[in-house]
Amino acid sequence: MRDREINAIRCGLVSLTLSLHQTPVMAIITTTTTTTTLFHLPSNTHKSKAVSSSFLSLPRSQSPSSSLQFRSLVSDSTSISSRRKLNGNLRRVSVIISAAATTEPLTVLVTGAGGRTGQIVYKKLKERSDQFVARGLVRTQESKEKIGGEDEVFIGDIRDSEAIASAVQGIDALVILTSAVPQMKPGFDPSKGGRPEFFFEDGSYPEQVDWLGQKNQIDAAKAAGVKQIVLVGSMGGTNINHPLNSIGNANILVWKRKAEQYLADSGIPYTIIRAGGLQDKEGGIRELVVGKDDELLETEIRTIARADVAEVCVQALQLEEAKFKAIDLASKPEGTGTPTKDFKALFAQVTTRF
């Protein structure tokens, strides 16, 4: 394998010198001080994702630095002057690839795109068309119309794997905002006091929607080579006796947590956002607070605007600091604290993988 890699690199260097100003067949570039990356550049490369999805990274142990490796690989076949020329050419290729990487929009599928938070995420992605190509998955034609009815909105039920498969083809990232929704039992009269009772429709229990439906999405995304999944869940999952679990006797937080664990174990870079109580309020005007293990539930900071959750989802798609993390998320009351603008710093506060 190593011989093949070295041969491939040699071939790449040769083709680079021959065809740098045309379309290089292969190039070796330095991405960081810890890895050297070998790219195949298909002749029709115009999307950076085509480049990055085919990379092969050599770990540090094999590649103490790119220049060192470069020397050892080419010293038997190239003169110093041609090495210099190659180094210069490599730098130029690196610049070209970096430029492509920063300009290419990510194709992102939002499931539950007709839901209250899903709609906002979908809209934000559409508004940032220089950074994202937005896709949606909704359950009904009615939901599709509600969010504009455009072609990139797929209709499908997440309990049906086949219905998801077409929606995930070609996407870079997935934002999961589906959820089992409890229905209020008829006959509740608030004027008489008491509490309403809830139920789930047959086949739409949290086990089917929040566990199996989310598992289906994660499996489909993995099969399609998706590079990141953002999953919105809920705080409260550490407490089996949380009141939400008794709604409809359906253990909603238990099944959500099981799906979160499945995602964390999937190997796909993920961001799990466990939101506090959701509010339909304006976003961007409160200080966001992150936590872990439901500790925030012991404080006064337990709610958050759907618009803020949506913004955190979008930011998570762009920041390395968000990957492989699970965060509890809430906000200070409006007028206290400083509205959050630095999402990189927000994610950097989080150290918990689950």
Ligand X SMILES: NC(=O)c1ccc[n+]([C@@H]2O[C@H](COP(=O)([O-])OP(=O)(O)OC[C@H]3O[C@@H](n4cnc5c(N)ncnc54)[C@H](OP(=O)(O)O)[C@@H]3O)[C@@H](O)[C@H]2O)c1
Q: What residues line the site for ligand X (CB under 6 A)?
A: 112, 114-118, 139-140, 143, 157-159, 177-179, 181, 209, 213, 232-234, 275, 277-278, 306
Q: Where are the beta strands (DSSP E) in the chain?
A: 26-30, 36-40, 56-58, 106-111, 132-138, 153-155, 173-176, 183-184, 198-199, 228-234, 270-275, 277-279, 288-291, 303-305, 325-331
Q: Point out the residue whose Cβ comes nearest to ligand X.
A: 115
Burial of 129 by CB count in 10 Å (0-12 exposed, 13-18 middle, 19+ buried)? exposed
**Least separation in angstroms between CB 307 and ligand X:** 11
Residue placing its CB nearer to ligand X in the complex, 76 or 298: 298
Residue placing its CB nearer to ligand X in the complex, 100 or 121: 121
Q: Which residues of 288-303 are buried (b: 16+ CB within 10 A; e: fewer)?
A: bbbbbebebbeeebbb
**Least separation in angstroms between CB 221 and ligand X:** 15
Length of the chain: 354
Q: What is the dihedral of CA 307, 313, 319, 324, to 10 degrees?
A: 140
Residue placing its CB nearer to ligand X in the complex, 16 or 275: 275
Residue placing its CB nearer to ligand X in the complex, 139 or 242: 139
**Least separation in angstroms between CB 113 and ligand X:** 7
Among residues 94, 143, 234, 331, the one annotated as catalytic is: 234
Annotated catalytic residue 234: yes
**Least separation in angstroms between CB 179 and ligand X:** 3
Q: For residues 172 and 107, what is the distance between their CA atoms, to the nearest angstrom? A: 5
**Least separation in angstroms between CB 119 and ligand X:** 8
* Residue at token pair 């934000």: 124
Residue placing its CB nearer to ligand X in the complex, 66 or 179: 179
Q: Which residues are catalytic?
A: 234
